[in-house]
Amino acid sequence: MKKISFLVFSSMLLYSVFNNNAIVPDEYNIAENKEQVIKDLETKEFDSGVKVNATFFNLAFGMTKQEVEKKFKNLENENIIKDVDTQCGILGASYSMNYHEYYNYGRVYCFFNDYNKLTELQIDTINRGGNLLELFVKKYGNADYLANNNGNTEYHWINGNRHITIIKPETSDELLIQYIDTSEKVKERTENLLIKWGIIPEA
């Protein structure tokens, strides 16, 4: 109970800190200090209390591995995915999809936490017909943050606990898409700050 109270207090404290030092949206497009800007955005969005668990293939953060496997079985029966396997606890499958005018194929990977809950979805995809990136912009609006990393353009959408990243190489049709539930890492960062500030004792 005390731990919960500390986390509630810490969220309020950090929310106050980040809102009193709000980042101007135009600055999100500056690649400098990318890691810090993304951390600030994740914390601010998480502290808003908004829960967004929807990902790709109608999967959602918090689903158990068994629930995801059942969903994969249905997708396999619909000939959307194949070659399902598990390696090192990561559930993977090859897929091909034709969504309106957007055709793409590749491989999807599901990552689970220690409680067997889905916390991350990664999609290595090839664009074939239609612009998949354009579809994401239509669905989620302009990216909250853009960065260029060694010729790869990164697009970040952060809403509540959900962080979507698309990495687009300059000379390829490939896209790397990540859906990440930021809940655990934001809470861990918050606790680390509180320990550093001496507000809670180190375990």
Check residue 145 and give its pLDDT: 94
Q: How far is CA 89 from CA 65, 86, 112, 113, 116, in A?
A: 9, 6, 7, 10, 9
CA distance 106 to 69: 18
What is the average pLDDT score of the chain? 82
Q: Which of 28-42, 89-103, 144-158 has the lowest mean pLDDT?
A: 28-42
Confirm if 23 and 36 have CB atoms less than 8 A apart.
Answer: no
Give DSSP secondary structure letters for the chain: -HHHHHHHHHHHHHHHHHHHTPPPGGGGG--TTHHHHHHHHHHHHHHTT----B-STT-BTT-BHHHHHHHHHHHHHTTSEEEEEEETTEEEEEEEEEETTEEEEEEEEEEE-TTSBEEEEEEEEEE-SS-HHHHHHHHH-S-SEEEEETTEEEEEEEETTEEEEEEEETT-SEEEEEEEE-HHHHHHHHHHHHHHTTSS---
Identify the pLDDT of residue 190.
Answer: 66
In the predicted structure, residue 192 carries a pLDDT above the cut 70: no
pLDDT for the residue 134: 87
6 falls in which pLDDT band (50, 70, 90)?
A: very low
